[in-house]
Structures are given as structure tokens and as C-alpha cells.
Structure 1
Amino acid sequence: MPWARPKTRWPPCATSCGTFASSNCPWRRQVREGHRQRQQQDLTDEQAATTIRAVDTAAVPGLLQTPDYARHVFESQAAPLGTSTSDIDDAVRVRMQRQNVLYAPGKTIQILMAETALVNPVRPAGIMAGQLDRLTVAVGPPNVEFRILPVGRTVRHVLWRGYWIVDDVVLIETVSDELRIRDPDQVAIYTRLADRLWDQADEGDDARRILAETAARLRVT
């Protein structure tokens, strides 16, 4: 469904990356002392938000990750950045706390994930099995809208990478940086793209079928 951008303002980046129309926050600066602090910032921001939209193509969105899956995400991010892994257990705990927002009243939460995140997993099969169970539970509850963009479906636009829209700020992750876009015109572009991808994605029983087929392939391998 179309999304009307709320008028709330985003708090300053905890790492002093600025509050301009757009800003780059290098990951090495954000997680130089570990990942827990960065997750704490997300926890605070999402609790204050009224609207959260996730569009992810390469991994399961953080709000739906299991602890084991999240741990592998943090470890895989730390390796190329050369940052500390000493607080990963704490970071995982905070990421799990973030998921309480899924049950908070008065919020609009839409999570769109591409099936490619399941077809080419970077996590072991045992961890993916548990993660698929978690995603299956996410299909259906009225407080969270969850859809999957199937492999092979023709899409109207090239999606170069995933992104999140939290109230009126777009967050885009690259290998080395996080880009935050606050310019209303640019945010509107990402919102329109999210709307169009959302309309092409599967929900309900169709989404469950994708998850079940992925789980069956894991059992075979």
C-alpha cells in the first residue's frame, strides 16, 4: 500500500556523521569499538519511529533474524572492516531487543525481502533452517506486513541494493559506509520504489510456499 511520509525528524547520527540532506557514516567509525553501540542506536531510533520499511535483497532483515543468523552477520561484517568482534554477543542481544518493536502498537512496519537472500545464503544450513522457521512465523500477524519478492519475477526497476526507510530517513548500507538520506525529494523516490516492489512481492500462502520450498532444498543438501 502507498506510504505517506510522516513529519517526524531523525535524531543526529550517534557517530557525528552530520544531519545534512544526506551523509555518509563509515562503518569503521560506527563500529570501531564493536557492534553493540550501533545496534543500541537502531533500537532507540526504531522505538521512536512510527513507520519502518525494510527492503532487503542479500540478507534476512535484522528485525526478523534469529540470534544465530545475526551472529554470523556481525562476524561477516567485522572481517572485511577489520573491526572488533569482542562484543558480538552483546550486539546480538540488542538486535533481538530491537524486535520488540514488531509488537508495539501504533506503528506501521513493512518488511520486503528478496528470495535471493534465501537462495544464496551465507549461513550454514542448520542456521538457515531455524531462520526459515522464524520467517514462516512472520507471515500473517496483523502487526507486521511481510512479503517476499520471488526469484524469476520480472520487476519494473533495477534494485541495486537494499535499503530501509525509518520515518522520513532512508538508510542504505554499503560494504564500507552507511548512507543516510534526509532530503524529502530523494526520500520520495525510494518510497515510490518500495511501493512498486511491494506490489510485485508475494504474501500469505504464496510467501509460505517460498519458505517451505527453500527449507525442502536445505534438507536435500
Structure 2
Amino acid sequence: MAKHPSSSVQQAREDLAAQLRELRLDAGLSAREVAALCGWHESKCSRVQSGHQALTDADIRAWCAACGADERVAAGLISQNRQLGSAYVEWQRMQRGGLKRLQETVIPLWELTSAFRIYEPGVMPGFFQTQGYAAALLGRIAAFFAIPSDGDEAAAARVERQRLLYSGQRRFAVVIEEAVLRTRIGDAEVMAGQLGHLLDVMSLPSVSLGVIPFTADRPMWPVEGFWILGDDQVVLETVSAKITVQQASEVDLYARTFAELSSMAIHGAAARQLITAAITAL
């Protein structure tokens, strides 16, 4: 198996592999001996130890049994492996239940999150989208991935999540690029409604909105969009997959990145002027 496309997931896979290798060494066994005890070809044992083998629960139990590790050790490694499996989820797999269902799946996690730090370089953050904007965007996503369109229902579900903005229990620090204001999703009427809504939500006490102007002197370049949930998890979306980052060093890197981007953004009246100018340009 090739390296995982997510560096974060690959690192976690290699950390798990290192723990399995330590169990083997502590047991005084060679890789060939562990392979024989597990009933595997020796090449599989090599892939396991290099982090290039996706592992099942049965694989981990067999390895632990061969090395004389107790059930608690096996259970801990199995739990770690299952978290690893959910860290990188392909969109096509997630979208099988429809886009409406995809909007609903994130709600339990978001309800448990008290602080959001969000950066978006090219599209309006989901929390701020109007139903018209969301329907236009989700309709294009459905067409691109050739999945049945439930765009209107999915858009309604996306807008319903905005109740979290008004709960008074959460804080949303959001930074967007000026390109978000100028990238047309839907027609001019949809965009005008979306930008007008943005002016409304930025006045909420739970929301801090910053816009990085085209003319900003940039110590930090535009990067992929990402959401920092609390202090221990980052979610980012690529064209092919949703990636969840939980490794402390990587979470810290995204926190530093958000701080850099925030330092370039304008807020308050200056941000409102950029939004108003984008509406006028329509």
C-alpha cells in the first residue's frame, strides 16, 4: 500500500506501526516469527511495521496475541486505529446518503464545540450561507460528483445549522479572503442577498469577522480553508476528501496560521466597506 494521501493520517499510521514494532521487540520476536504466528506472509509484517498496511481489528489482535500483549493493550491500539480510519474520509463515500444527510452529520460535533476558528479563501463559510447561496453551491457539487441532487433540502439543512450562531454559548472567529466576496456563486440576486446577510451576521456578539483585502501586504500566503474546533481538532476539505487533524503539533501549526491570517484582516467598519463595495459591483 502506498503512503496515505494525508500527511497527518500517514504520520498517525506510522506512530501506530511503531507501537506494534515495540511490542514485537519487547517479546523478543523477529518479524518472520510474528508473521508465522499470525499466519501471514512475511511481506505483510514488513508493511505493518512501515505504516504502509491498513489494519483491521483482527490484524491488531493477532499481532498482540503473537507478542503476548494483554487484551487491554490490543483494545487501546484498536481504538487508535479506528480513529485513524475516520480521519480521512472520501467525499464520494460520505455523499452516498445524499447532501442533506451530509449536512446533518456534523451537527453533534459542532454542538459540542464552544469555539470555532474558521478560515476560507474562496467560498462563504457554511455558517454564514443563505439558502439561495447554499442551494447554488450544493447544486454544483452534486453535478460535479454526479450524485442525485437534493440541493434544496440540503441547503435548508445547512441553513438550519446556523441556529448555533444565536445560542450565545459559542464563539466564531472567522477570516475570509476578499475573493469570497467577489466569487459569484449563483446569480447577482443570490450574491447580493448573501452579502447583505453577511453584513447582518457580522454584527452578532458571537461573531468576529475579518476580511483580508486583495491589497493586503501578506506575511502569510493564502492556504486551504480550515476549521479549528476548540483547541484539539482541525477539519479541512480537499477536492477529494474531508480530513480531520488531531495531532497536537499539526493543530498548533493551524492555530499559528490562523493567527497570521487574522493579523492581515480588517474588521468592523473597514470590513463592512469591502462588503458594501462588492454589493455595489454586482
Pairwise same-fold verdict (TM > 0.5): yes
Deviation at 1:140, TM superposition (A): 2.7
The aligned runs of 1:147-186 (5 Å cut-off) are 147-167=210-230, 168-186=232-250
Contact 2:123 2:183 in 1 (8 A): no
Q: 1 or 2, which has the higher helix percentage? A: 2
Deviation at 1:165, TM superposition (A): 1.1
Q: Report the TM-score, using the length of structure 1 for normalisation.
A: 0.85
Deviation at 1:18, TM superposition (A): 4.6
> 3-state DSSP class of the match of 2:181?
helix
Contact 2:120 2:224 in 1 (8 A): yes
Provide the residue aligned with 1:28 in structure 2. Answer: 92
Provide the residue aligned with 2:167 in structure 1. Answer: 104
Contact 2:94 2:102 in 1 (8 A): yes
The aligned runs of 1:15-94 (5 Å cut-off) are 18-20=82-84, 23-85=87-149, 87-94=150-157
The residue identity in structure 2 corresponding to 1:53 is: R
> 3-state DSSP class of the match of 1:53?
strand
Deviation at 1:21, TM superposition (A): 9.3
- The higher relative CO (CA closer than 8 Å, separation ≥ 6) is in 1
The aligned runs of 1:127-138 (5 Å cut-off) are 127-138=190-201
Change (3 A) 1:46 1:108: same
Which has the larger Rg? Answer: 2
How many residues are treated as equivalent by the alignment? Answer: 201
Distance 1:190 1:18 in 2: 24
Distance 2:117 2:182 in 1: 22
The reply on whether 1:192 has 2:192 as its aligned counterpart is no
Distance 1:131 1:36 in 2: 20
Provide the residue aligned with 1:5 in structure 2. Answer: none
Deviation at 1:113, TM superposition (A): 1.2
Identity %: 26
Q: Report the TM-score, using the length of structure 2 for normalisation.
A: 0.68
Distance 2:276 2:235 in 1: 31
Contact 1:43 1:95 in 2 (8 A): no
Contact 1:27 1:176 in 2 (8 A): yes
For structure 2, which runs of at least 5 residues remain unmatched after alignment? 1-80
